[in-house]
Amino acid sequence: MHYQPKIDLLQNRIILVTGASDGIGREAALTYARYGASVILLGRNEDKLRAVAQELHHLNGDTPHWFTLDLLTATPQDCEQLAQKLAGLVPRLDGVLHNAGMLGDVVPMDQQDPQTWQNVMQVNVNATFFLTQALLPLLLRSDAGSLVFTTSSVGRQGSAGWGAYAASKFATEGMMQVLAEEYKQQNLRVNCINPGGTRTTMRANAFPTEDPQKLKTPRDLMPLYLWLMGDDSRRKTGMSFDAQPNRKPGISE
């Protein structure tokens, strides 16, 4: 995507990023801050989150709020408690990037471990829904809220071996579409981003034999992540965008 945002694109915006401790989410949090946003970091690993918070502090002098929440065990009550804490700290949320995700096992359906299946659904779908439900009141206080989910190519077209992960990303697309319809008369838009194959730990786990140098880095994807959080995309809702529109799914040769 050729997009050159103004450096103050996200000035005065408050944006929460899940899975902010690593990979695409970490890069998105740093990028949003570079473009003026106050970011709130969510993740499950305290040390990693603290390190990202420190990087943000070096970037612009602000120390961001950060919270640990393990989506594997998160209940609706945990999400509600977090939302209450946030409501005491910030007046609203202008953006939420649901980025945290779990891959599970890349094996045929007849070998999908039922517990791993449930874990993938819990992290990618159930906890993402619990968190969305809890954060909606804060998002609706924004005059231009942007709620962004993270999908995958296999969330639009199933592919052998992608089992729970593919099913969870289809559910993500569905959740996005339902919410977009429900809030289309209000100041909240809801969309998905499909990053496409990107140089991260999750990708390396999915394709251990692939040469990571052949993949785009999280930073390469940031134009779309910025565009969807800012005003330049303000009429877009209910859509699923590709950060690498010309990339064919599958291993990079």
Q: Which residues are catalytic?
A: 165
Q: Total residues at the site for ligand NDP (CB under 6 A)?
A: 27
Given the complex with ligand NDP, which of 8 and 46 has the nearer CB atom? 46
Looking at beta carbons only, is 210 or 231 nearer to ligand NDP? 210
Q: Which is nearer to ligand NDP, 117 or 143 (CB)?
A: 117
Q: Which of 5, 43, 104, 163 binds ligand NDP (CB under 6 A)?
A: 43
> CB 34 → ligand NDP: shortest distance, Å?
18
Q: Quick check: 72 binds ligand NDP (CB under 6 A)?
A: yes
Q: Which member of 17, 24, 82, 135 binds ligand NDP (CB under 6 A)?
A: 24
- 204-243 residues in contact with ligand NDP (CB under 6 A) are none
What radius of gyration do the chain's Cα atoms show?
A: 17
Closest CA to 98 of 207, 215, 193, 224: 193
Judged by CB under 6 A, the chain residues 160 through 189 that form the site for ligand NDP are none
Residues 121-140 that bind ligand NDP (CB under 6 A): 123
| 244 belongs to the binding site for ligand NDP (CB under 6 A) | no
Q: How far is the CB of 19 from ligand NDP (least distance, A)?
A: 3
Among 134, 135, 203, 237, binds ligand NDP (CB under 6 A): 203
What residues make contact with ligand NDP under the rule CB under 6 A? 19, 21-25, 43-45, 48, 70-72, 99-102, 123, 150, 152, 195, 197-198, 200-203
